Structure 1
Amino acid sequence: MGFSDKMRETLGSEGARLQVKTDDDGWAARVSPGGTAEASVTIRGGTKMARVEALVLRVIVRHRNWSDGQGMTLTDAQARELDDRSHLTPAWSRELVSEARVEVGAEVDVEAEREVAVSVPVPEHCDATTSSCTVALLVQADIRGQIDPTVTGKVLVA
């Protein structure tokens, strides 16, 4: 076994992978504020068996804002009111609005697949999905002995 193979094994980089199943429009979940986002997560085994303790689910809201280069930040609505926006640079704020842990407690064999249905509450104060506001479902697996894989799915809040 070469040095790079030993390093990959030590870091656990050849372990399990995650995938969030989406619908035909690319959304992992469709939900109203105050509802529950539901999705299906597929855990794919890597080159060695993985013990999946749990999946950690996070709902993250991102809002687009604009910076004028002099330290002033404008909301998307404020930026639209300007005649000349060429000096503005887009940026995104990020806010964690909900988190849940789904216990799995299962072993995933080499190159095997295991599907897990998950759900996480979306608070009533969560903003609706727009071109300047995105809502994401971040899923992270808690797996012993490897770097915890993560995957992101889109949530349509309407």
Structure 2
Amino acid sequence: MGFSDKMRETLGNEGARVEFMDDDEGWTAQVAPGGTAEARLQIRGGTKTARVEGIVLRVIVRHRHWADAQGLALTEEQARELEERNHLMPAWSRDLLGQTRVEVEQDIGPGDERELTVQVPVPEHCDTTTSACTITLHAQADIRGQIDPTATGKLFVH
């Protein structure tokens, strides 16, 4: 076994993968604040059997804001009120809105594929999706002995 093979084994890189099952344009769910988004996940086995204990699902909101040369943060509205905006730089905040864990407790062997449909509550206080506000669903598989694989999908909150 070579160095890179030993490193992959040490990091758990040979285990399972998780991804959203999507259509031709990628995975996006439409949901209203306070509603429930449904997502289909696929867990794929790697070169070794992996024990998937659960999936942690996180709803994350990102807001764009603007920063001036001194680092002062401005909201979208404040930036629009300025006559001269070319000195502003865009920046994004990132906040966790909610987290859910789905127990799986399954062994995924090499080459195995498992589908999992999950329900994700979207908090009532969730903002709606705009060009300055994006909401994502982050799925992280809890797999003992490997770096936990992740997948990210978009939530369109309206």
Q: TM-score range by the shorter chain?
A: over 0.9
Return the alpha-carbon distance in structure 1 between the equivalents of residues 48 and 4 of structure 2: 17
Return the alpha-carbon distance in structure 2 between the equivalents of residues 138 and 4 of structure 1: 29
Partner of 1:28: 28
Amino acid at match of 1:131: S
Query: Which segment drifts farther, 7-16 or 75-84?
Result: 75-84
Q: Is the 8 A contact 2:20 2:27 kept in 1?
A: no
Match of 1:102, SS? strand
Match of 1:9, SS? helix
Mark the runs of 5 or more structure 2 residues left unpaired by the alignment. Answer: none
Question: % of aligned pairs identical?
Answer: 66
Partner of 2:130: 130
Partner of 2:109: 109
**Normalized against structure 2, the TM-score is what?**
0.95
Match of 1:84, SS? coil
Q: After superposition, where does 1:6-85 map in structure 2 within 5 Å? A: 6-85=6-85
Q: Is the 8 A contact 1:60 1:94 kept in 2?
A: yes
CA deviations on 1:52-108 (whole Å, 9 max, x unpaired) are: 000000000100001002021001122122222211111111111110000001111
Partner of 1:143: 143
Amino acid at match of 2:9: E
Q: Is the 8 A contact 2:56 2:99 kept in 1?
A: yes
Partner of 1:87: 87
Return the alpha-carbon distance in structure 1 between the equivalents of residues 78 and 110 of structure 2: 52
Q: After superposition, where does 1:147-158 map in structure 2 within 5 Å? A: 147-158=147-158
CA RMSD of aligned residues (A): 1.2
Match of 1:151, SS? strand
Match of 1:4, SS? helix
Q: Is the 8 A contact 1:66 1:74 kept in 2?
A: yes
Return the alpha-carbon distance in structure 2 between the equivalents of residues 100 and 130 of structure 1: 24
Return the alpha-carbon distance in structure 2 between the equivalents of residues 129 and 35 of structure 1: 14
Aligned residues: 158
Aligned structure 1 segments of 4 or more residues deviating by more than 4 angstroms: none
Return the alpha-carbon distance in structure 2 between the equivalents of residues 24 and 3 of structure 1: 38
